[in-house]
Amino acid sequence: MECTVSWTGALATRSGMGFVAETGSGHTLVMDGAPDAAKPENGGLNLAPRPLELVLAGTGGCTAYDVVLILKRGRHEVRGCTVKLIAERAELDPKVFTRINLHFTVSGKSLPAAAVERAIAMSHDKYCSASIMLAKTAEITTSFEVLEA
């Protein structure tokens, strides 16, 4: 797996903290830093997600993928899956994630709560590389609700 990240400030005014990532699969995404009122030259322009927001988004995508796949392989009629991630970070550098809660809302036809709980646990314990990696610094908790759809 590879990815190339380039500073967009190098292309124009040499200001701002925007970056473009080109992934090995041929996709691009934009990142930006938070504005810094004290030192504007060090801050971003708030034009795109922060890099660590993308880490959370990637983790949510990784685990949601697992949960849907596990449920489908179990022949459950899953129709929707949403994961809301709420994270806390350390106050001092490096400001790693210290706590992350993943709340799943899974919908389907006659979906057993036990099957959803098992799929989440399997993702958390065995399959989701992103959440397993983040668990090295953060306490990760999960919760879920099942909706009939």
Question: Domain spans of the chain?
Answer: 3-42, 51-148
Angle between helix axes 113-122 and 51-73 (nearest 10 degrees) is: 130
DSSP letters spanning 53-98: HHHHHHHHHHHHHHHHHHHHHTT-EEEEEEEEEEEEE-SSSS--EE
Percent pLDDT > 70 in the chain is 96
Query: Chain-wide mean pLDDT for the chain?
Result: 94
Average pLDDT, integer, range 63-73: 98
pTM over 0.85: yes
Average pLDDT, integer, range 130-142: 97
Pairing of strands 139-148, 97-109: parallel
Q: Are 30 and 11 in contact (CB under 8 A)?
A: no
Q: With bands split at pLDDT 50, 70 and 90, how would you rate the model's confidence at 77?
A: very high
Strands in 18-23's sheet, in edge-to-edge order, are 3-7, 18-23, 28-32
Domain 51-148, classified CATH 3.30.300.20, yes or no: yes
